[in-house]
Amino acid sequence: MAVRRTQVQTTLNGEETDFLCEPRQSLLEVLRDELGLTGTKEGCNNGNCGACSVLVNGRVANACCVLGVEAENAEITTIEGIADGDKLHPLQQAFLEEAALQCGICTPGFIVSSKALLDSEPELDEERIRFWLAGNLCRCTGYDKIVRAVLKAAGTSDNG
């Protein structure tokens, strides 16, 4: 059945991108189902778990609570845009070194959310990291390893 689709122009991970979507599709559905960017995960799909965290104009948001059409003229960054080519972002490296993941479903959201924190606040302590990441749920690690990884990345990275 033919469904009305809207053309959207956006900047996705630094590149000008056009896509077609239905107005009812969330940005999460557009990323995963239309653009094949499956790094962004669907957890709760109602704004509670943070698994679908992406950056919209530099601020971290749940892609399940954004309409795809709202991406018009916006800058969107997903987990696929975090590494510099084959060079991992310091957060990604720290998550590996600190074993800050188990099943991995929450990990892209934690890394995107943590990147927004590192980009905006150079001076970080454990309390600030735990407060910032309260909107990202993990049911495997117990969070300690994630917090250690973010602290490590904050200390070693130029946050590029």
Partner 1 sequence: MQEITYLAPTSLGDVYTALADGKRSVLLAGGTDIIVQLREGRSDAEQVIDLKHIPELTQFAFNSSGDLKIGAAVPFAEIYENAEIIDRLPALIDCATLVGGIQIQSRAGFGGNLCNASPAADTTPALIALGAILHIGSANQVRELPVEDFFLGPGQNALEDGEILLQIVVPNPGSNSAAYFHRFIPRNEMDIAVANAGVSLTLNDARDRIENARVAIGAVAPTTLLVSEAAEALIGKEPGEAAFAAAGDAAANAATPITDMRGSAAQRVHLSRVLTVRALERALKRIEEN
Nearest CA-CA partner of 26 in 73, 58, 76, 65: 65
Q: Does 67 bind partner 1 (CB under 8 A)?
A: yes
Q: List the x/- string, 73-112, binding to partner 1 by CB under 8 A.
A: ----------------------------------------
CB-based contacts of 32, cutoff 8 Å, min separation 6: 38, 40, 42
Q: Does 61 bind partner 1 (CB under 8 A)?
A: yes
Continuous segment of H or E residues that includes residue 111: helix 107-120
Shortest Å distance, C-beta 16 to partner 1: 20
Is the CB of residue 24 less than 8 Å from the CB of residue 81? Answer: no
Q: Does 123 bind partner 1 (CB under 8 A)?
A: no
Nearest CA-CA partner of 138 in 50, 41, 8: 50
Nearer to partner 1, 48 or 156 (CB): 48
Cβ neighbours around 116 below 10 Å, total? 18
Amino acid at 144: D
Nearer to partner 1, 117 or 150 (CB): 117
Q: For residue 106, what is the DSSP state?
A: S
Stretch that binds partner 1, among 12-20, 35-43, 134-142, 143-151 (CB under 8 A): 134-142
Nearest CA-CA partner of 55 in 134, 133, 116: 116
Q: List the x/- string, 40-59, binding to partner 1 by CB under 8 A.
A: -----xxxx-x--x--x--x
Shortest Å distance, C-beta 27 to partner 1: 10
Give the interface with partner 1 as residue ranges (CB under 8 A): 3-4, 6, 22-26, 45-48, 50, 53, 56, 59-62, 64-67, 69-70, 72, 113, 116-117, 131-136
